[in-house]
Amino acid sequence: MHETLRGGHHGDAAPPEAPPRPYREQVEALRRIFERQGSLGVLLVDLSHLARVEQEYGPRAFTTVHAAATGLVLGLRGSVIRHEDIVATTDAGGDALLVFLSPRRHGSQLRAADLQAAATRVEVVLNRKLASLSARYLRDPGRVDVGFAIGFSNPMLMAERLMARLVDEAWQCARLKSQQRDFEERCALQDVLLEDRLTTVFQPVVGLTGSGILGYEALTRGPEGTALRNPQRLFELAAKYDLLFELDRSCRRRGLLAARELPPGAKLFLNVLPSAVYDPEFQGDGLLRLLRECGFSPSRIVLEITEREAIENYGLFAEALQSFTEMGFSIAVDDLGAGYSGLEKIAKLNPHFLKFDIALVKDIDTSYIRREMGRALCGFAQKMDSTIIAEGIESENERRALVELGIAYGQGYLLGRPGQLVPTPAAQPSEASGEHGA
């Protein structure tokens, strides 16, 4: 097994290392390794996903994150990679870092299994550390894939061609690993939908001055003990694999069925994607049959349209919503203050409820800007005859600040946590706990 897997050299820390150079500038050193042992192994650390940082925040942010990633790789010397291994870039742009494994001390041949084990260890370390570095810029920081390849010395080919072939094979390995992971993720999500393994929890919408519970919001969770348990990850993967419509449809049906246990008269706040209003299964007689099956009338249902989702044509969308309001449904615009839409577009939807995003509610008691934004939105809601619901309330001071603004209803851990059984919030908001948690 290559010494990279055994801890490398020990002793005094090495001096700071110069930034890696393109591998084509180091062909002579690599050729000598070929001549000494007849083969050459390479690890390729794919950093191409960091290009999103440059696209969204510019070259300075990309340079910062890329330099940090390079530093992480260089910091593996003496642990996962040997001090003598040659670290290089694929080209001047630095889409990937290469680790060419140095000659072995004991003459044994490097095997593919050794490279695979080394690649796995590098992946584990980098994915754990790089995610926190890129999270400042990317909501989904992506994943580092480490490919590997072995090349054989061939006197019939130039050293430059041998190196290029070796690097190309390592790229193919990294991309195959990424494609395999994508395939497994897509299959896992498809299985969840096919087997109806989603669950629904409910969070109460509570009067902020002790006026009781208005209703409950249905929140979806994936299977327990899996990465899909997290709803954000669940919907990110659905968007990635073009399964949002199917996931949204399953969430709606599961939420309605689970809501049969809610107290009589309590409203059900049901999240729907904008595309749901065009779904034939969610219209007309089919929808009414489903509601009867679940013991609901349209007057008890509030359809939450997230303001984080861009709506292409507000005129057509408003027309589609009109048929739901005529049936007796109420409409809520969710995530107000965190999405794409201007207030004029939201007004076209004529919503019965406006839900303040958690980013606006957090620390509203100490933020003058948030309070003034809230005050302005309250005036906007009043003109539309809409009721405001503040989301993400976690402290008594936040609750009081919202009451001072004239906001009647709220959600948050202070008032009641999501649960499969209908949660019972504190009798008085002032006595509720403000602890954090899922």
CATH of the domain at 325: 3.20.20.450
Q: Would 189 be classed as within a structural domain?
A: no
Alpha helices in 328-425 (DSSP H): 343-348, 358-361, 368-384, 396-404
Same domain, 241 and 168: no
Same domain, 156 and 215: no
Q: Would 437 be classed as within a structural domain?
A: no
Q: For residues 218 and 221, what is the distance between their CA atoms, to the nearest angstrom? A: 10
Same domain, 160 and 223: no
Please give the residue that has the higher pLDDT: either 407 or 424: 407
Residue 106 has pLDDT above 80, yes or no: no
Same domain, 116 and 221: no
Which is nearest to 336 in space by CA: 357, 314, 352? 357
What residues are paired with 255 via a beta bridge? none
Same domain, 155 and 217: no
Q: For residues 406 and 400, what is the distance between their CA atoms, to the nearest angstrom? A: 10
Same domain, 377 and 417: yes
- Model confidence at 4, in pLDDT bands (50, 70, 90)? very low
* Residue 40, phi-psi category: left (phi > 0), alpha (psi -120 to 50), beta (remainder): beta
CATH number of the domain to which 155 belongs: 3.30.70.270
Question: What is the token pair recorded at 433?
Answer: 């706990």
- Model confidence at 107, in pLDDT bands (50, 70, 90)? low
Look at residue 43 and give its three-state secondary structure. strand
Same domain, 167 and 211: no
Residue 340 has pLDDT above 60, yes or no: no
Q: Would 114 be classed as within a structural domain?
A: yes
Residue 305 has pLDDT above 60, yes or no: yes
Q: Domain ends where: 129, 152, 180?
A: 180
Strands (E), 61-207: 86-89, 96-100, 145-152, 199-207
Residue 7 has pLDDT above 70, yes or no: no
Residue 421 has pLDDT above 70, yes or no: no
| φ, ψ at 44 (rounded to 5°) | -120, 120
Residue 380 has pLDDT above 50, yes or no: yes
Range of the domain at 230: 196-431
Same domain, 130 and 233: no
> Please, are residues 74 and 66 in contact by the beta-carbon 8 Å criterion?
no
Number of domains in the chain: 2
Position 337 scores a pLDDT of 62
Lowest mean per-residue pLDDT among 103-112, 289-298, 369-378: 103-112
Q: What is the pTM of this model?
A: 0.80
Same domain, 164 and 284: no
Same domain, 133 and 211: no
Q: Domain ends where: 116, 150, 180?
A: 180
Q: Would 128 be classed as within a structural domain?
A: yes
Same domain, 129 and 215: no
Position 187 scores a pLDDT of 97
Look at residue 129 and give its three-state secondary structure. helix
Same domain, 146 and 260: no
* Residue 297, phi-psi category: left (phi > 0), alpha (psi -120 to 50), beta (remainder): beta
Q: What secondary structure letter does DSSP report for 388?
A: E
Position 108 scores a pLDDT of 64
| Segment 35-66, tens digit of pLDDT | 888 888 999 999 988 888 888 889 898 888 88
Q: Domain ends where: 180, 205, 235?
A: 180
Cβ within 8 Å of residue 145, ≥6 positions away: 46, 123, 174, 175, 177, 178, 181
Biggest alpha carbon–alpha carbon distance for the chain: 85
Position 438 scores a pLDDT of 35
Q: Would 319 be classed as within a structural domain?
A: yes
